[in-house]
Homo-oligomer: A and B are copies of this chain.
């Protein structure tokens, strides 16, 4: 039994709710409905950003993301400047995942009528702060009233000088690797939401590091460009929904499987400390927690060590080899322990899925 108007009568046609289809099913429906290939669209729906050809030889990347109060953030734990930062950063991350150069942003912002104008200024200040290192220009937007809570819709346009790296280019035998460390954003959120008594057990410096990772994620823009310039790097995407879910996207788009050594997934010492203090499962955070905005790549096995060393030298960011792409027939990635035993691991955060179905 469900709510009022959406419940079919007895014998009526069964209706499909978003909770049943999930975001993936929805994207598939939208992609199918978007129609045939269109001229000068190299890559449409289904990757981190669209790849367009506005002029011969010029590649334009375009991506859009919604950031919604009560869904993606709470005002209690994120300031207006944090919201502005994050609304831009999640889009910069999509451009980074293609190996592109972010250039221009358009911002749609809806806020409740009584909102303090200074808070709107702070939102834009946070956005400028996130965009400044990349020279992002806010070139347009729309502002209007919201009935309930903030809504930020940011579109970022970028350029690409080489070959954008897609989710669909992973092949059996490639090594799976991730930048930085995983689970920091989820750790930060858990620290912010912890009961005061429990939260007090987290050292202050640890809490600062992790809450910053949650509120002000840093898109791996330089890393994405460097990686996309390596012929050995084939597939790339950003980790917004968690390693399990996002590697699943790569597998589906590439028609391959993947096997990940859970013990090799990079987790920072701060994240471990927070998990211990809060009595939570750090591996669950690292594998199923979202919003880390690290990069996930599939690259040639023989070149992996060289690429990792090169990325570290060029950007200061580590690249950790965590697994391998396997043959087709395994739709979702498998996580194994050091003895090769498969671990039961649920998917990361997927919108529309009831919370009860989440793994971790």
Chain A residues at the B interface, C-beta cutoff of 8 Å:
2-3, 6, 15-21, 23, 25-27, 29-30, 33-35, 38, 40-41, 44-45, 49-50, 52, 54-55, 57-58, 60, 62-66, 68-72, 103-104, 106-111, 113-118, 120-121, 124-125, 128, 135, 137-149, 151, 153, 155, 157, 159, 351-352
User: Nearest chain-B residue to A136 (Cβ)?
Assistant: B38
* Contact of A104 with B50 in the complex, beta carbons under 8 Å: yes
Distance in angstroms from A102 CB to nearest chain B CB is 12
* Contact of A148 with B148 in the complex, beta carbons under 8 Å: yes
Distance in angstroms from A207 CB to nearest chain B CB is 25
* Contact of B118 with A68 in the complex, beta carbons under 8 Å: no
* Contact of B118 with A15 in the complex, beta carbons under 8 Å: yes
Chain B residues within an 8 Å CB radius of A70? 147
Chain B residues within an 8 Å CB radius of A2? 114
Choose among B65, B69, B120, B128 the residue that contacts A18 (Cβ–Cβ < 8 A): B120
A25, A44, A107, A137 interface centre (most CB from chain B within 10 Å): A137
User: Nearest chain-B residue to A31 (Cβ)?
Assistant: B138
Chain B residues within an 8 Å CB radius of A27? 143
* Contact of B104 with A17 in the complex, beta carbons under 8 Å: no
Chain B residues within an 8 Å CB radius of A64? 64, 106-108, 140-142, 153, 155
Choose among B45, B116, B151 the residue that contacts A16 (Cβ–Cβ < 8 A): B116
CA–CA, A27 and B108, complex, Å? 12
* Contact of A149 with B147 in the complex, beta carbons under 8 Å: yes
* Contact of A159 with B54 in the complex, beta carbons under 8 Å: yes
* Contact of A55 with B52 in the complex, beta carbons under 8 Å: no
Chain B residues within an 8 Å CB radius of A49? 140
A19, A124, A144 interface centre (most CB from chain B within 10 Å): A144
* Contact of B117 with A29 in the complex, beta carbons under 8 Å: yes
CA–CA, A177 and B151, complex, Å? 36
Chain B residues within an 8 Å CB radius of A135? 38
CA–CA, A128 and B36, complex, Å? 12
Chain B residues within an 8 Å CB radius of A65? 108, 142
* Contact of A66 with B153 in the complex, beta carbons under 8 Å: yes
A107, A135, A140, A143 interface centre (most CB from chain B within 10 Å): A140
CA–CA, A29 and B6, complex, Å? 43
Chain B residues within an 8 Å CB radius of A38? 135, 137, 139
Q: A41-B137, A115-B17 are in contact. Are A143 and B33 (CB under 8 A)?
A: no
Can you list 16 pairs linking A and B with CB atoms under 8 Å apart?
A25-B117, A26-B117, A26-B143, A34-B139, A38-B137, A40-B103, A45-B138, A49-B140, A54-B55, A54-B159, A64-B142, A68-B146, A71-B145, A144-B351, A148-B148, A157-B157
Interface contacts beyond A62-B104, A62-B140: sample of 12 additional A-B pairs, CB < 8 Å, sorted by A: A6-B116, A16-B118, A18-B114, A26-B117, A29-B120, A44-B138, A52-B104, A64-B64, A65-B108, A70-B147, A145-B352, A153-B153
CA–CA, A41 and B138, complex, Å? 10
Q: A33-B128, A157-B52 are in contact. Are A139 and B41 (CB under 8 A)?
A: yes
CA–CA, A107 and B62, complex, Å? 11
Q: A117-B17, A151-B151 are in contact. Are A63 and B143 (CB under 8 A)?
A: no
CA–CA, A27 and B107, complex, Å? 11
Chain B residues within an 8 Å CB radius of A50? 104, 106, 139-140
